[in-house]
Amino acid sequence: MAAMGQLVFDEFGKPFIILRNQDKKRRIVGIEALKSHIMAAKNVYNTLRTSLGPKGLDKVLVGPDGDVTITNDGATIMQEMRPSHEIAKLMVELAKSQDDEIGDGTTSVVVLAGALLEQAESLLDKGIHPIRIADGYEMAAALAVKHLESIAESLTFSKDNVGALTDIASTTLGSKVVNRYRKELAKIAVEAVLSVADLEHRDVDFELIKIVTKVGAQLEDTMLIKGVLVDKDMSHPQMPKEIKDAHIAILTCPFEPPKPKTKHKLDVTTVEEYQKLREYEKQKFEQMVQQVKDAGANLVICQWGFDDEANHLLLQRELPAVRWVGGPEIELIAIATGGRIVPRFEELSKAKLGFAGSVKEISFGTARDRMLVIEGCPSSRAVTVFIRGGNKMIVDEAKRSIHDAICVVRNLVKDPRVVYGGGAADISCANVVAEAADKVPGLEQYSYRAFADALEVIPLALAENSGLNPIEAVSEVKARQIKEKNPRLGVDCMHKGTNDMKEQCVVEALIGKRQQILLATQLVRMILKIDDVRLPGEKED
């Protein structure tokens, strides 16, 4: 489209040209559009590549409000980047889907997708149709996944023997900011999952694991509480700080007189009427407290607040109470203590009370922060991971890291098969796919070789981020794997002097590795099939 120009003069008489229709540039379609999409994906891939592995670098992410996040967690980096390009947004969704389904491997899946697209670009330059490339990728991915399952080893563990699970959780934490305390945090993650796991049905209820953070103390003060931690304190400072053998009334009704459920209003015109209303309210308060006492409760946990009069009455009647406890916490307390959530005082009974061996209020350092710890619940499997740290950034990163470790352990409870990390599984799959390429008729053999080269990008990035010569390190491991037929050989990122990942205890869950390959291939296929992007209100040129 030709640009229309107009010559005008400013207030000093100097001429300048106004170009019109510059905003209506020619829309890119076809292979050109596809290459621009690959370029956008490569930008994201190059950003995340340096964060891969135990020696990967961290990113400082500054939010729109100026809040700072330091992390190397792929899903967090992708979410905070907020890219404007449509294809980059698809990469964000890819990291999110890996995080939702598996919980770990979010960086690897984006790096693999970016590498596949980078390889696809060179195939497009050779004149191969994008659909043929995508078909070849899918066939190669199916072969890689099949090979992964053939080299996987089954893990044996029980609630008494958790060494193998701890090693795998430790591998996950090895690439995080908190890796100095990865052994301790891995033990907490394993114990948390096994406390709530149903090993017979291979199921883990994440609702029973709560993660609570509090700034202060050190990271090694992080602990696992066999019970529920609530970020509240007693409603009155003179109420007891610890209650043994607590019979808990869990209420979703407020300590307030009932309000008329109509639009009518009540006018109080005399002092006598006001006194009657006050007496009525006091009588209702006393009735509510008596109903709780009659049920046998010695602690009240209420979802709503109550005023000073009700609070003072509760103190007088020696009935400790906690107010403004949120809905999720109320549900978790009910599950943990075996109690029922009661919506009306009239429905309270002894059978609906929860029980806890101990409910105590704990305080932190010199701050006035207090929390309630509910422990010793006989019918409960609910646990709380209580994370401490020197500042908010460390605490937030520790929370993300422990979440990843818990997800990995959960995956192993569901499917106990494992493959070896350090790029060992990727190199092994790359060797198999490259070997199969020679036997594939047609143009798909180019896709097979490209897929094999893309799989090698992960061990290359691991070696590069660890300060090794990437090509030399990966070539050596690749040659040794073929010669020794040993799929456990990977990149020695920690410089321990051995490439055997079994000796280094660097292990990954099979379910996570398989999902990385499948999700990355699906996304790349989707991107390769896009040849045009239409924006709202856009007109044809």
* pLDDT bucket at 22, cuts 50 / 70 / 90: very low
Question: In this structure, is residue 332 part of a structural domain?
Answer: yes
Same domain (yes/no): 367, 475 = no
* pLDDT bucket at 142, cuts 50 / 70 / 90: very high
Last residue of one domain, picked from the residues 339, 356, 375: 375
Number of domains composing the chain: 2
* pLDDT bucket at 9, cuts 50 / 70 / 90: low
270 a catalytic residue? no
CA dist., res. 419 & res. 516, Å (int): 13
427 has pLDDT over 90? yes
Active site residue: 73, 167, 233, 492, which one?
73
3 has pLDDT over 50? no
Structure confidence at residue 41 (pLDDT):
86
Same domain (yes/no): 367, 243 = yes
524 has pLDDT over 90? yes
Mention every residue, 6+ apart, whose C-beta is less than 8 A from residue 442. Answer: 132
Active site residue: 104, 233, 396, 404, which one?
404
CA dist., res. 228 & res. 332, Å (int): 7
Mean pLDDT is lowest, of 158-167, 273-282, 285-294, 484-493, for 158-167
Same domain (yes/no): 308, 366 = yes
For the CA atoms of 78, 82, 85, 91, what is the dihedral angle to 10 degrees? 20
CA dist., res. 375 & res. 392, Å (int): 27
Last residue of one domain, picked from the residues 318, 351, 375: 375
Question: In this structure, is residue 136 part of a structural domain?
Answer: yes
Same domain (yes/no): 328, 457 = no
Question: In this structure, is residue 110 part of a structural domain?
Answer: yes
DSSP result, 451-490: HHHHHTHHHHHHHHHTTS-HHHHHHHHHHHHHHHT-TTB-
Structure confidence at residue 514 (pLDDT):
92
Tally: H helices and E strands in the chain = 17, 19
Question: In this structure, is residue 124 part of a structural domain?
Answer: yes
Structure confidence at residue 301 (pLDDT):
92
HEC secondary structure over 302-343: ECCCCCHHHHHHHHHCCCCEECCCCHHHHHHHHHHHCCCEEC
Question: In this structure, is residue 14 part of a structural domain?
Answer: no
Long-range contact pairs involving 88-95 (C-beta distance under 8 Å, separation at least 24): 88/40, 88/41, 88/43, 88/44, 90/41, 90/523, 90/526, 90/527, 91/41, 91/44, 91/45, 91/523, 94/519, 94/520, 94/523
**Diameter of the chain by CA atoms?**
100
CA dist., res. 480 & res. 485, Å (int): 8
CA dist., res. 89 & res. 46, Å (int): 15
2 has pLDDT over 60? no
What are the pLDDT digits (tens) for 214-223?
888 888 889 8
Same domain (yes/no): 312, 235 = yes
How far is C-alpha 257 from the chain's CA centre?
43
CA dist., res. 392 & res. 214, Å (int): 8
Domain limits for position 470: 31-154+419-528
CATH of the domain at 331: 3.50.7.10
Same domain (yes/no): 369, 449 = no
DSSP bridge partners of 62: 68
Question: In this structure, is residue 541 part of a structural domain?
Answer: no
106 a catalytic residue? yes
Active site residue: 47, 69, 107, 171, which one?
107
Question: In this structure, is residue 216 part of a structural domain?
Answer: no
517 has pLDDT over 90? yes
Last residue of one domain, picked from the residues 344, 375, 406: 375
What are the pLDDT digits (tens) for 209-263?
889 888 888 888 898 988 888 888 888 888 898 899 989 999 988 877 766 666 7
CATH of the domain at 427: 1.10.560.10
Same domain (yes/no): 350, 445 = no
pTM for this model (two decimals): 0.79
Structure confidence at residue 540 (pLDDT):
56
Active site residue: 106, 213, 337, 384, which one?
106
Give the torsion sign (CA, 140, 141, 146, 147). Answer: positive
73 a catalytic residue? yes
Between 23 and 82, residue with greater pLDDT: 82
Structure confidence at residue 456 (pLDDT):
93
Helix (H, G, I), strand (E, B) or coil at 81: helix
